[in-house]
Amino acid sequence: MRVGVFDSGLGGLTVLKALIGAFPQNSFVYLGDTARTPYGSKSPEVVARYSVECARFLLTKGIDFLVVACNTASSLAMAQIQAEVPCPVVGTIEPSIDEWVRMGSPEPLLILGTRATVQSQAYQRGIISRSPESRQLAVACPLFVPLVEEGILEGPIVDHAMALYLDAYRREHPTAVMLGCTHYPLLRTPIARFFGPQTRIIDSPGAICDRLKQESGFHCPPVITPCTREYYVTDDPTRFQTLAERFLGEPNVVVSRAELASLPSASESINQFKSNAT
């Protein structure tokens, strides 16, 4: 099994790390769209365009299974991705909702995500379809992704950002908090402390691994040919390599540049431009 995994940048490595731990016999191809990160502040249309491009790139790498390790893309672009990709596709939304249902649908449920994810209502609609009467709240935490990307995972800025976004929701005493962004597991400890031990945390990496244990291809025994791990980014590989090695706890991560043709080169001619009033 050759599994493609993509995210807007670094955050999807939380999913990849969990997948490698759970399914070490599989090969993985990771793509981070670092030339256009972040997705969470961009429009549904642009997120869908970028996501389809990422999926197509991974298809050229011969994948048998695609994991959309970006909650913004999972929220806004799953239909478009599935229409493009002949192999099975799993995103972040359904697995997290499955896990919440397995917990007994604790409520009130608080969903944290990017602005694009929360506005898409993808989590909210998914939960209503499973548990129409359940009490749920969703809040966008736009600073959390820049904090994680900057490696600021604890301390007063994190505490004040949590207070800014979450104080009003803590008063609702959520019994479960869903981390609706693959960056947020890196803030799991301060978020869990903020809500206290009575609040259960659901995150995408754990939920996706639980979901994939039901897929036949993920049960195959170890094979003789060694599994491979490939890493691609759309911007400079060097900085990503350093962060990925630190993040995955592995030396010598080899990162290559994914040259998406839609990223402009400096030599493109001027007549490629048009503008449309909206």
Q: What residues line the site for a second copy (CB under 8 A)?
A: 34-37, 41-43, 45-46, 48-50, 52-53, 56-57, 59-61, 80, 142-143, 146-147, 149-150, 152, 155-157, 160-161, 164, 232, 235-237, 239, 255-266, 268, 270, 272-278
Bridge partners for 138 per DSSP:
111
220 is an active site residue: no
Based on CB atoms, which residue is closest to a second copy, 43 or 189? 43
Based on CB atoms, which residue is closest to a second copy, 48 or 209? 48
Cα separation, 68 vs 92, whole angstroms: 7
Residue 229's Cβ-side half-sphere holds a number of Cα atoms within 13 Å equal to 18
| Cβ atoms of residues 98 and 35 within 8 Å | no
Active-site residue, selected from the candidate residues 181, 209, 220, 227: 181
Based on CB atoms, which residue is closest to a second copy, 46 or 220? 46
Q: How far is the CB of 257 from a second copy (least distance, A)?
A: 5
181 is an active site residue: yes
Based on CB atoms, which residue is closest to a second copy, 63 or 147? 147
| Cβ atoms of residues 181 and 112 within 8 Å | yes
Q: How far is the CB of 48 from a second copy (least distance, A)?
A: 6
3-state secondary structure of 70: coil
Based on CB atoms, which residue is closest to a second copy, 149 or 215? 149
Cα separation, 76 vs 115, whole angstroms: 12
Q: How far is the CB of 273 from a second copy (least distance, A)?
A: 5
60: left (phi over 0), alpha (psi -120 to 50) or beta: alpha
| Cβ atoms of residues 51 and 67 within 8 Å | no
Own/partner pairs, 122-127, CB within 8 angstroms, 24+ separation = 122/74, 122/75, 122/76, 122/78, 122/93, 123/75, 123/93, 123/96, 123/97, 123/178, 123/180, 126/93, 126/94, 126/97, 127/97, 127/100
Q: How far is the CB of 50 from a second copy (least distance, A)?
A: 7
Active-site residue, selected from the candidate residues 54, 70, 87, 220: 70
Q: How far is the CB of 134 from a second copy (least distance, A)?
A: 30
Which sequence positions are flagged as catalytic?
70, 181
